[in-house]
Structure 1
Amino acid sequence: MARLVHIGSVIVDIVMYVPGFPRPGGDVLATRSEITPGGGLNVMISARRQGAAVAYAGLTGTGPFGELCRQELEKAGIELLQPAFLGEDTGYDVALVDPAGERTFATNLGAESRLDTEHLERIVPASEDVVYVSGYGLLDVHNGRALAHWLTKLDPAVTVVVDPGPLVGDIPADALRAAIARTDWWSCSRREATVMTGLADPARAARALAGRGRGGVVVRVGPDGCFLAQAREVVPVPGHSVSTVDTNGAGDAHVGAFVAGLLAGHEPLPALARANAVAALAVTRCGPATAPTAAEVDEFLTRT
C-alpha cells in the first residue's frame, strides 16, 4: 500500500495561550497550557485522518518526551521506521499563542536532530510512496546536507514533497538547491515564498518557484486558500472564511491532507481544495494536531 514516508521531526509542544506577548524582559501569565507531541506529527495525523497510510522515518529519543511521542505515533497507527535514539531525549518547543490565534515558537533540539547517513540508508521508499521532507531537516543543525544528498539518490519514481518551513532562509544554499532539484511538490506559506523569491505577491512567487524544480508549487495564503503553480501556470484555489482560534499546525494540516489526496489518486486541484477545507477546520480548534477526520471534511464541504 502506498504510504506517506515522513522524514522530519516529531517534537513535544509546550503550548501556552497568552493574552499578549510579553515585552523584552517582561512576563505574562498564560490563560491555559498543554504539553503534547507536535512538529511533524501534525502532518502525519492530518494524512492519517484522511485515510492515508503513514510511516515515520525520523528519530525519537530515549526519555519522557521520546516515549510520549512514540506512544502518540503508535496510537495514530503510524509505522516507526527507526529504533529509539539512545542517550538523548526528543526535543521540544515553547509555543506562545495570542488571542488572534497567532503562534510564536522557541525550540530546543534533541534526538530528532541526529538523523544522519546511517539512519537515512535504512529508509527505502517504494516507488508509489510519497516522501515528505521538512525544511528543518535541511538545516545544518539537522545534518541537512546528508538529507539533501539522500534525496538525489532516490528512485525517480518516488514522489517528493518538501515544506521548507519558516527557517527557509537559514537552509544552506547547496542543500536547498539539491532539494528543489529533486522535489515534485514544493508547499510553503506566503512568507516563505517571499523569502525565497523576494516577491511579495504570492501568485508571482508561486510562478517563480515553479520554474526551479521538476514539479509543482503550492503557496498557502491562509483563509484565502492557496495558489497552485505548474509549468508556470498559476491557479488560485479558494479557501474558507472561519472563526480562527489557533493557527498552530494549520500549514501542516494542509500539506498532510494534500499528500493524502495525491496518495488516493486525486488530481492536484481537488486535492488542494480538500486540503483548504482541512486547514480551515483545523484553525477553529485549539492545539497542534487538530486536523479533522475525512467525515468531518465531507460534512463541512456540503455546507459551504
Structure 2
Amino acid sequence: MTGALPGSRAVVVGEALVDVVHRAGSDASDATTEHPGGSPLNVAYGLGRLGHDVGLLTRLGDDDHGKLLRAHLESGAVQLLPGAVDGDPTPVARAEIDAEGKATYDFDLVWRVPEVTLGDDVTLVHTGSIGAAVPPGADTALSLLRSVRGRATTSYDPNVRPAFFADREQALARVEQFVEAADVVKASDEDLAWLLPGEDVEAVAYRWQARGPALVVVTRGSAGAVAVSGAGTLHVPAPRIEVVDTVGAGDAFMSGLLHALAEHDLLGGRGLPRLRHLGLGTLESIVATAIRSASITCSRAGANPPTRAELDA
C-alpha cells in the first residue's frame, strides 16, 4: 500500500509487539503476564502520553494480540497508521526479568511496513530497534528517514538486539547507516559495548556526531547520560531511585528527549539550525528531562512512561 499519511506531527516507524513477561522469584512470586511492547511502540506511546500528536507506522496481526495493541495505542492517543494490520500473527517478545529487575528477550516476529509518503506537516520521524534492523521493514524505515531529512527532524535509537544480526560487523554497518540519516541519536552504553567493545562511549559519540547528527546522547543507567553536540560534551547525572525494573526505560528516555526538544521548538526544518547550535544550558535541561522520564518509568513495573503532569511534577 502506498499513499499519503493523515496529519500527524510525529511519526514513529517500528515494531509493535506483545511482551510475554516472566518474573523470576520464589514459587509463590513467579508470574507471567502479557502486555504491549516494542521499542518504537513504547516511544510513540510515551509521546502520546506527553500530549503529542503521533502516529505509529508498524505491522500487527488481526488476532487477539493485535487487538491488545490497538487498544493500548488508543489509550495513549496514538494513531495506528494505514496498512498496519495483515494476515500474519502479531509479533511476540518473551522477556525474562531477573531478581534485579533486568530484562532479557527472545523474539518471534515478521517485520514489514507499507511504503508511504509523509506529508509536509510531519515534523519528526523516529525509528529504531528491530524496526531499523530487520529487512524489509528496516529498509523502508531508512528510506523514510532519508526522504524527510532537512524538512523534518529524524531520530534514531539502535536499541541493539544481537539475535537479529549475523555478526557484529553487519550490525555496526546497519547502525551507522541510520546514524548518518538521523539528526538526533540516542544509544545506551550497552549498545556501544556490544557494537564497539572496549571503545570509550564518549569517543564513539563524538565520532557518530561528526557523521551528521546534530545531537548524540548515550545513556549510562544510574550514571546518567553523556550528550555530544556542536556546542561540546555534557555529562548529566541521574537521580537516585528505587528501581522496580528497567523495562521501557530507554524508550521513556527517548520520548522524553523528543518531548523536550519539541518544548524548546527544536523540531522540524525550522528547528534544525537551532538544534545544530544548541547551547549547553538548554542541552542540559533537555537531557535532564529525558532522564526524569526514564527514572519515573524505572520506579514502576513495565513500560509505563510518564504523563505530562507526572513529568512536570
TM above 0.5, one fold?
yes
Unaligned runs of 5+ in 1: 21-27, 300-304
C-alpha distance in 2 between matches for 1:109 and 1:249: 19
Q: Secondary structure at the match of 2:243?
A: coil
> TM (normalized to structure 1)?
0.85
Check 1:107–1:214 CA distance in 2 against 1; reply closer, same or farther (3 A cut): same
- Which of 123, 128, 147 does residue 129 from structure 1 map onto? 123
- Deviation of 1:231 (Å): 2.9
Q: Does 1:253 align with 2:252?
A: yes
Q: Does 1:286 align with 2:301?
A: yes
Greater Cα offset, 74-83 or 252-261: 74-83
> Is the Cα–Cα contact under 8 Å of residues 206 and 234 in structure 1 kept in the other structure?
no
> TM (normalized to structure 2)?
0.82
Check 1:174–1:166 CA distance in 2 against 1; reply closer, same or farther (3 A cut): closer
C-alpha distance in 2 between matches for 1:35 and 1:249: 14
Number of the residue aligned with 1:273: 288
Partner amino acid, structure 1, of 2:230? A
Greater Cα offset, 170-179 or 274-283: 170-179
- 1:9-28 equivalences under 5 Å are 9-19=15-25
Check 1:196–1:215 CA distance in 2 against 1; reply closer, same or farther (3 A cut): farther
Q: Does 1:107 align with 2:107?
A: yes
C-alpha distance in 2 between matches for 1:195 and 1:76: 33
Q: Secondary structure at the match of 2:120?
A: coil
Number of the residue aligned with 2:235: 236
Partner amino acid, structure 1, of 2:10? L
List per-residue Cα deviations over 1:112-136 (Å, max 9, x = no partner): x122xxx12x240436511111131
C-alpha distance in 1 between matches for 2:41 and 2:56: 9
Partner amino acid, structure 1, of 2:187? C
Greater Cα offset, 269-278 or 41-50: 41-50
C-alpha distance in 2 between matches for 1:147 and 1:191: 23
Check 1:176–1:223 CA distance in 2 against 1; reply closer, same or farther (3 A cut): closer
- Which of 149, 158, 183 does residue 143 from structure 2 map onto? 149
> Is the Cα–Cα contact under 8 Å of residues 128 and 159 in structure 2 kept in the other structure?
yes
C-alpha distance in 2 between matches for 1:245 and 1:128: 36
RMSD, matched Cα: 2.4
Number of the residue aligned with 1:211: 210
- Deviation of 1:224 (Å): 1.8
- 1:84-95 equivalences under 5 Å are 84-95=84-95
Number of the residue aligned with 1:23: none
Unaligned runs of 5+ in 2: 1-6, 266-281
Number of the residue aligned with 1:63: 63
List per-residue Cα deviations over 1:81-133 (Å, max 9, x = no partner): 123432112111111111211011101003xx122xxx12x240436511111
- Deviation of 1:175 (Å): 4.1
C-alpha distance in 1 between matches for 2:139 and 2:89: 23
User: What is the percentage of aligned positions where both structures have the same residue?
Assistant: 25
